[in-house]
A = this chain, B = another copy of it.
Amino acid sequence: MSLKLTILGCHSATPRVNANPTAQFLEIQNHHFLIDCGEGTQVQLRKYGVKFSKIKHIFISHLHGDHSFGLIGLISTFRLLNRETELHVYGPKGIKEIITLQLKLSNSWTQYPLLFHELSETTSQLIFEDATVEVYTIPLNHRVYTNGFLFKEKEGERKLDMNAVFNYNEIEVCDYQNLKNGRDFILKNGTVLKNEDLTLPPSKPKSYAFCSDTSYLPEIVPIIENATCLYHETTFLKDKENLAITTMHSTAEQAAKIAKQAKVEQLIIGHYSGRYKNVDAFKAEAQTVFKNTELAETGKVFEF
């Protein structure tokens, strides 16, 4: 398992008893990312046993309340818990002003470095990268400036083919890293052993595409193509497609169409409107188009 997703909240608009707004905790290659942060997210993190200190990067899709009103509280709680490590916040332009105004007026500046990465581009951007993971924006189409996020593992090292390696006494343990890095091996007699004869290809990198509120937007397909998992917010069923258009949300069927076009392995849907008492119909509607669809449920964990 190199990708683990915990749903902290998956309901739309207003927080209600047992219906938390959007927030997800993503573990990928030893990174711990919080994605969106509706009101009450810090309590959900406690409820589902996420250690606060693990979170170093928070990604906010847009500034509607059900995706962002829990951020100031979480930042303040980190302060009260005497956090020292950096916190990086990625979100729409304006997010820094919102947070800093509140910290100023409550005379509660963080003692830890709080770093904002404000987003305003309308094409997909690489916004985070290190040795093992990349994060790209997925520009969406909603009532306010909105991005989804694509979290991608980088291609890993090649794997040693020990059956092949053990044929050569000259190859020692200290040579293994060079082989994993793709280098050929030269025997003392000058013979060149091709890397592909000593190693196996790395596992296929996994990726997670998070698409929050958006109207139906096939333009995102090239960005999220072949993702291991796509989360796509739906809000409405097909019977309310006109309402979905007006409010710039998607129906379950539309989310499934995106999943199918992008040839993702799995689709997760969520952000159900409060008008639907039973959300099973979302799954049924999506599965008419894309079979491998699962419903987001608060507290549910998906592993890939």
What residues of chain A have their CB less than 8 Å away from a CB belonging to chain B?
Answer: 13-17, 39-40, 42-43, 46-47, 62-65, 68-70, 72-73, 76-77, 80-81, 92, 94-95, 97-98, 101-102, 105-108, 143-144
Question: By the criterion CB–CB under 8 Å, are B105 and A94 in contact?
Answer: yes
Return A271 CB to nearest CB of chain B, in Å: 14
Question: By the criterion CB–CB under 8 Å, are B46 and A17 in contact?
Answer: yes
Q: 9 closest A-B pairs (Cβ-Cβ)?
A: A94-B105, A14-B77, A65-B76, A39-B73, A63-B106, A69-B73, A107-B144, A63-B105, A64-B106
Question: By the criterion CB–CB under 8 Å, are A108 and B64 in contact?
Answer: yes
Decide yes or no: A98 and B94 within 8 Å by CB, A14-B42, A15-B40, A39-B73 being known contacts.
Answer: no
Return A5 CB to nearest CB of chain B, in Å: 21
Question: By the criterion CB–CB under 8 Å, are B106 and A65 in contact?
Answer: yes
Residue of B nearest to A43 (CB): B15
Residues in B neighbouring A105, C-beta threshold 8 A: 63, 92, 94-95, 97-98, 144
Question: Given contacts A14-B73, A64-B106, A65-B77, could you give 12 more A-B pairs where the C-beta distance is less than 8 Å?
Answer: A14-B42, A15-B40, A39-B70, A40-B40, A62-B106, A65-B72, A68-B106, A69-B72, A69-B73, A98-B102, A105-B144, A107-B143
Question: By the criterion CB–CB under 8 Å, are B14 and A80 in contact?
Answer: yes
Return A221 CB to nearest CB of chain B, in Å: 27
Residues in B neighbouring A47, C-beta threshold 8 A: 17
Taken together as a complex, chains A and B put the C-alpha atoms of A81 and B15 apart, in Å, by 12
Question: By the criterion CB–CB under 8 Å, are B102 and A46 in contact?
Answer: no
Residue of B nearest to A18 (CB): B43
The residue that A46 contacts in the complex, of B16, B46, B76, with Cβ under 8 A, is: B16
Return A291 CB to nearest CB of chain B, in Å: 34
Residues in B neighbouring A77, C-beta threshold 8 A: 13-14, 65
Taken together as a complex, chains A and B put the C-alpha atoms of A144 and B65 apart, in Å, by 26
The residue that A73 contacts in the complex, of B65, B80, B94, B101, with Cβ under 8 A, is: B65
Return A89 CB to nearest CB of chain B, in Å: 14
Taken together as a complex, chains A and B put the C-alpha atoms of A282 and B165 apart, in Å, by 70
Residues in B neighbouring A92, C-beta threshold 8 A: 105
Residue of B nearest to A274 (CB): B80
Most B CB contacts (10 A, CB to CB) among A63, A76, A102 go to: A102
Question: By the criterion CB–CB under 8 Å, are A16 and B39 in contact?
Answer: no
Question: By the criterion CB–CB under 8 Å, are A15 and B106 in contact?
Answer: no
Return A209 CB to nearest CB of chain B, in Å: 24
Taken together as a complex, chains A and B put the C-alpha atoms of A177 and B108 apart, in Å, by 55
The residue that A76 contacts in the complex, of B69, B70, B102, B107, with Cβ under 8 A, is: B69
